Amino acid sequence: MRSDVEFCSEGRTLHGWLYRPGAGADTAAAVVMAHGFSAVKEQYLDRYAEVFQAAGLGVLVYDHANFSASEGLPRQEVDPVLQKRGYRDAISFAQTIPWIDPARIGIWGTSYSGGHVIAVAAIDRRVRCVVAQVPFISGSLSAQRRTRSDLVPAQLRRFEADRAARFRGAAPAMLPAVSADPLQPCAMPGPDAHAFFTGTQDFAPNWHNAVTLRSAELSRENEPAVHIARISPTPLLMIVAQDDILTATDLCLEAYQRALPPKDLVMVPGGHFDPYLRHFDRTSTAARDFLVAHLGAIV
């Protein structure tokens, strides 16, 4: 069974889905889930939630502040600090649901939110286990790889001009999330990113191909993996794509090496978006088995 839910985070109402497992114990373990950079829950998170639900887990899936039906201004702004706080408030909300065991809650994140859950698991001991799929590791290192050094000064000037304009009361500058034109600046470059997002428009109409320019600036400041060694003793599963250029494979593997046990690593072929589609069965099953093992779900 799936129901629509809402909860408050940082003064904003966030909207999502709550999945309750079928027959079994009066209380169930649960997993909290949210999507990555600019993405909304309809972009395949329902498929993961259904796998976890079938294994006896409750699932709370929600949209980040400023996106889809969730409240927040500026619209389409990806604020990593706000989104991490959203995860923590989602855990608090899940703990108020009568049939969820408040001591058995895990978190799952993917891409940008894969970085969020690394940080949240390191600082919030209510988290019993964490799954980070193709996680965002380092804003500074990612920026160095995505932007040629000779183009960085102009990019920083755009950030400064936007900040000055917003201070004067102007609307925030916007940036495409993805683009088919390799010469057009966008938040997530590459044909695979464009194909993934535009391929979901029929069933995810609330996704919009735009983020604030400040989202890119905030991304440069986001360093979730500095916390990774502090996740232990909370169990960590990291799912990494072998040829990921968006959240680079080598950065993910280096971060995994810095994590302390207990930890598990699953490698899948392909690029950043293959875990959602071509290797969905493998990634969803790996996450399901890990969550069940550490949360003690009852089928």
The answer to the question of residue 106 being in a domain is: yes
What percentage of the chain exceeds 70 in pLDDT?
98
CA angle, residues 186, 83, 149, in degrees to nearest 5: 35
CATH at residue 260: 3.40.50.1820
**pLDDT on residue 24:** 61
The answer to the question of residue 213 being in a domain is: no
Contact 135, 226 (CB under 8 A): no
Enclosing domain of residue 31: 2-139+223-295
The answer to the question of residue 280 being in a domain is: yes
Mean pLDDT across 252-260:
98
Burial class of residue 119 (count of CB atoms within 10 Å of its CB; 0-12, 13-18, 19+): buried
Q: How confident is the model at residue 298 (pLDDT cuts 50, 70, 90)?
A: low
**pLDDT on residue 179:** 95
The answer to the question of residue 249 being in a domain is: yes
**pLDDT on residue 67:** 98
| Assigned token pair, 149 | 């050094």
**pLDDT on residue 154:** 83
The answer to the question of residue 258 being in a domain is: yes
Mean pLDDT across 239-248:
96
pLDDT above 90 for 297: no
The answer to the question of residue 22 being in a domain is: yes
pLDDT tens for each residue of 211-222: 999 999 999 999
| Assigned token pair, 238 | 């990291």
**pLDDT on residue 80:** 98
The answer to the question of residue 43 being in a domain is: yes
Number of domains forming the structure of the chain = 1
**pLDDT on residue 149:** 77
**pLDDT on residue 293:** 97
Q: How many C-beta atoms lie closer than 10 Å to residue 76's C-beta?
A: 19
Residue predicted with more confidence, 152 or 279:
279
Range with the poorest average pLDDT among 63-67, 179-183, 194-198, 247-251: 179-183
Q: pTM for the complete prediction? A: 0.95
Half-sphere exposure of 276 (CA within 13 A, CB side): 23
Q: How confident is the model at residue 23 (pLDDT cuts 50, 70, 90)?
A: low
pLDDT tens for each residue of 131-175: 999 999 999 999 888 777 777 788 889 999 999 999 999 999 999
**pLDDT on residue 63:** 98
E strand or H helix at 159, and its extent? helix 152-167
Q: Which of 214, 173, 175 is nearest to 77 (CA)?
A: 214
Contact 76, 174 (CB under 8 A): yes
* Mean of pLDDT over the chain: 95
pLDDT above 80 for 240: yes
pLDDT tens for each residue of 62-118: 999 999 999 999 999 999 999 999 999 999 999 999 999 999 999 999 999 999 999
Q: Determine the residue type at 137.
A: I
The answer to the question of residue 195 being in a domain is: no
| Assigned token pair, 166 | 């917003």
